[in-house]
Amino acid sequence: MSAGLLQQMLIGALLGLSVYLPLRCGQLSLATPGFFAIGGTVAALLSTRIPAFAGTGATSPLPALLLEMGLGGLLAALLAWAIGGTVLRLRGIYLAIATIALVEILRVITLNLPFTGGALGIFGIPQPFATASGYAGFTLVLLALVCWLCARLEQLRLGRAMAAIRDDELAATCVGIDTAAVKLNAFVLSALLAGLTGALAAHFLNSWNAKVGSFDASITTLAFVVFGGSRTWLGPVIGGLVLTALPELLRPVGDLRLIVFGLVILLGPVLFPQGLITPQALQGLGHGLVGLGQQLRGYGHQLLERANGPRRP
Partner 1 sequence: MTGIFRLQRRTELSARTGLGGRRLSALSLALLGSALALGGCGGPDPEQLPVNLSQGVPLGAVLAMSGNANVYGQDQNTGLSLALAELNGKGGINGKPLALKIEDSGSDEPGANAAFTLQINRGVLALIGPTLSQQAFSADPIAQRRRVPVVAPSNTATGIPEIGHFISRVSAQSSVIAPLSIARALQLNPGIRRAAVFYAQDDAYSSAETTIFQQALTAKGLKPVTVQRTQLNDQDFQTQITAALQQKPDLVVLSLQAVDGGNMIRQLRELGYKGAIVVGNGMNTPNIYPICQKYCDGILIAQAYSPELKSPANSAFLRRFQASQGGAIPPQLTAQAWTALQVLAEALQRLDRRQSLQQRNLAEARQALMAEILSGTYQTPLGEIRFTPEGEVIQKNFFVAQVRMDPSGKSGRFALLP
Partner 2 sequence: MDLIQLLLNGLSLGAVYALFALGYTLVFSVLGVINFSHGAVFTLGAYFTYLLIGGQAGANGLLAGLQLPFALPFALALPLAGLASALVALLIERVAFRPLRRRGADSLLALISSLGAGVILVNLIQLLMGAESYAIPIGTLGALPAALSLGGAQVRTVQVLLLAISVLLLVVLSVWLEGSRSGKALQAVSEDPVTAQLLGIDSDAMIRLAFGISGFLAGVSGGLVGLSVSIAGPYFGISYGLKALGVLVLGGLGSVPGAMLGGLIIGLAEAFVPAAWSGWKDAVAYGFLFLILVLRPQGLLGKPQATKV
Which positions lie near partner 1, rule CB under 8 A?
A: 2-6, 8, 111-112, 118-121, 123-124, 127, 130, 132-133, 136-137, 140-141, 143-145, 147-148, 151-152, 154-155, 205-207, 209-212, 232-234, 247-248, 251, 257-258, 279, 282-283, 285-287, 289-290, 293-294, 296-297, 300
- Contact string 257-286 vs partner 2 (x = CB under 8 A): -xx-xxxxxxxxxx--x-------------
Residue from 92, 288, 291, 298 touching partner 2 (CB under 8 A): that is 92
Distance between CA atoms of 246 and 241, rounded to whole angstroms? 9
With beta carbons less than 8 A apart as the criterion, state whether 19 and 35 touch: no
Nearest distance from C-beta of residue 268 to partner 2, angstroms:
7
Nearest distance from C-beta of residue 262 to partner 2, angstroms:
3
Name the residue nearer to partner 1 (CB basis): 25 or 136: 136
Nearest distance from C-beta of residue 97 to partner 2, angstroms:
5
Q: Among 155, 153, 162, which residue's Cα sits nearest to residue 25?
A: 162
Phi-psi region of 129 (alpha: psi -120 to 50; beta: other; left: phi over 0): beta
Nearest distance from C-beta of residue 235 to partner 1, angstroms:
12
Return the ∠ at Cα 69 (arms to 63 and 72), rounded to 5°.
135
Q: Among 196, 87, 179, 95, which residue's Cα sits nearest to residue 142?
A: 196
Name the residue nearer to partner 2 (CB basis): 145 or 256: 256
The Cβ of residue 92 has, within 10 Å, a number of other Cβ atoms equal to 10
CA separation, residue 262 to residues 172, 239, 243, 246 (Å): 38, 15, 11, 10
The Cβ of residue 86 has, within 10 Å, a number of other Cβ atoms equal to 9
Distance between CA atoms of 197 and 53, rounded to whole angstroms? 18
By a kind-dependent CB cut-off of 5 to 8 A, residue 287 interacts, out of partner 2, partner 1, none, with: partner 1
Which residues, 20 to 49, sit near partner 2 by CB under 8 A?
26, 28
With beta carbons less than 8 A apart as the criterion, state whether 204 and 128 touch: no
Catalog residues that contact partner 2 under the rule CB under 8 A: 26, 28, 86-87, 89-94, 96-98, 100-102, 104-105, 107-109, 111-112, 215, 219, 222-223, 226-227, 230, 255-256, 258-259, 261-270, 273
